[in-house]
Amino acid sequence: MATIDVSGTTRQYILTLPAGYDPRHVYPLLFAFHGGSYNAQWVVNGDPPQSGPYYGIQAVANDTAILVAPQALSGSWTNQNGQDVAYVDAMVSRFEAQLCVDQSRIFATGFSRGAIMTIALGCNDSAKFRAVAAMSGEIMNGCPDTRALPYWASHGTSDPTINISLGEAARDTFVQRNHCTTQTVAISPSGCVSYQGCDLGFPVVWCPFDGVHEPPPFAGSAIWAFFSQF
CATH number of the domain within which 124 lies: 3.40.50.1820
Element at 120 (helix H, strand E): helix 113-124
Instruction: State the pTM of this model.
Output: 0.97
Sign of CA dihedral 83, 86, 90, 96: positive
The rounded distance, in Å, linking the Cα atoms of 12 and 105 is: 23
The rounded distance, in Å, linking the Cα atoms of 213 and 230 is: 29
pLDDT given for residue 101 in this prediction? 98
Q: Tens-digit pLDDT profile for the chain (230 aa)?
A: 999 999 999 999 999 999 999 999 999 999 999 999 999 999 999 999 999 999 999 999 999 999 999 999 988 999 999 999 999 999 999 999 999 999 999 999 999 999 999 999 999 999 999 999 999 999 999 999 999 999 999 999 999 999 999 999 999 999 999 999 999 999 999 999 999 999 999 999 999 999 999 999 999 999 999 999 99
Q: Are 66 and 16 in contact (CB under 8 A)?
A: yes
pLDDT given for residue 50 in this prediction? 97
DSSP 199: P
At 141, phi and psi to the nearest 5? 65, 30
The rounded distance, in Å, linking the Cα atoms of 193 and 83 is: 34
Element at 169 (helix H, strand E): helix 164-177
Provide the number of structural domains found in the chain.
Answer: 1
Q: Are 124 and 108 in contact (CB under 8 A)?
A: no
Element at 198 (helix H, strand E): none
The rounded distance, in Å, linking the Cα atoms of 113 and 202 is: 24
The rounded distance, in Å, linking the Cα atoms of 141 and 170 is: 12
- Domain of 94 in residue numbering reads as 2-228
Nearest to 216 by CA among 191, 181, 195: 191
Sign of CA dihedral 204, 62, 90, 88: positive
pLDDT given for residue 150 in this prediction? 98
Query: Terminus-to-terminus CA distance in the chain, angstroms?
Result: 30
Q: How many CB atoms lie within 10 A of CB 224?
A: 24
User: Before 189, cis peptide (omega within 30)?
Assistant: yes
